[in-house]
Amino acid sequence: MLPKQTAERYILSSSPHAHADASTSRIMLDVIIALLPALGCGVYFFGLRVLLLTGTCIAASLVTEALCRLAMKRENTIGDLSAVVTGLLLALNLPPDLPVWMAALGGAFAISVAKQVFGGLGYNPFNPALAARAFLLISFTGPMTTWTESAWRGADAVTTATPLALIKKGAEGFDWSQAAILKDLFLGNVNGCIGEVSALALLIGAVYLLARKVITWHIPVSFLATVFIFAMIKGGVPPLVHVLSGGCVIGACFMATDYVTSPITARGKLIFGCGCGLLTMLIRTAPTGAYPEGVSFSILIMNGLTPLINRFTQPKPFGKVKK
């Protein structure tokens, strides 16, 4: 005799039926933890002012998030930590001596214009932190391209502007293949934004995210591999210099991998990463280009193409007859 069936035994719902334990706040917390080594290196290289800029960006992001949700009469979402991640990422992409009010303006722009105006987390087409960085770079080009020398600088360090600025100016006589130069680029003994200078610190964070399965390898590997191959084909500067310089590593591991603004399929992620790497190098090496760096703009451009990539790479249902 079959047991008595009750309505409570059967729950009808749409897929997916298997759920992970991860929540938005847990994922964001993992990203924050992964960025702490880069933040620590920023403080070590550039001083305690880094904490002031970082706190300003995070505070501006949180306040703007709360005010926007209140104005829209929607649930307050500051508890999901996404605004904290946006503020932290923005701070790591700023010069150490940027005026505090500009950092606050960037945090407010990231949340209000690049995120909440589209409906909040999950609806924004562009990475908010990168959109804010692009806004600040275009609006305040001077302060955004003024670099503070690292306190850890030695006689063998790259001594003028940033490595990418030197490359853009055509410093062909500079011996980029020196082991000391590559070591400085890897450890962070160079000029640059707060969180982009130490590739080692960023890679430690990326390994943590991979271990936690917050990100997959597809975008970081395809991004960095494309930059490496492009630089190798072009010649003139060792490929590792391009990979380790500027925002390549932080862009590939922390910005391009944003859940909302990157493709959802493995094949789409590979296309996305390759596109980011290609555009980065085209901007970096354009002889008449105004910017020595292209990571931010390349990711934002590919963010705009993400819906098309998702549509092109979507899996076909089993048994579907091709028309």
Backbone phi and psi for residue 284, each to the nearest 5 degrees, phi listed first? -65, -40
Q: What is the mean pLDDT of residues 47-71?
A: 95
pLDDT at 288: 76
Other C-beta atoms closer than 10 Å to the C-beta of 43 total 15
Q: Positive or negative CA dihedral for 301, 302, 304, 309?
A: positive
pTM: 0.87
d(CA 183, CA 246): 15
Q: Is there a contact between 46 and 96 (Cβ–Cβ < 8 Å)?
A: yes
Q: What is the mean pLDDT of residues 14-28?
A: 69
Q: What is the pLDDT of residues 172-184, one digit of tens each?
A: 556 666 667 788 8
Tell whether the model's pLDDT for residue 40 goes beyond 80: yes
pLDDT at 253: 95
Tell whether the model's pLDDT for residue 156 goes beyond 50: no
Q: Where are the domains of the chain?
A: 25-144, 163-313
pLDDT at 287: 76
pLDDT at 173: 53
**pLDDT band at 271, cuts 50/70/90?**
very high
From 148-157, 190-199, 287-296, the region with the lowest mean pLDDT = 148-157
Q: What is the pLDDT of residues 101-125, one digit of tens each?
A: 999 999 999 999 999 999 888 899 9
Q: Tell me the one-letter amino acid at 132.
A: A
Q: What is the mean pLDDT of residues 202-226?
A: 96
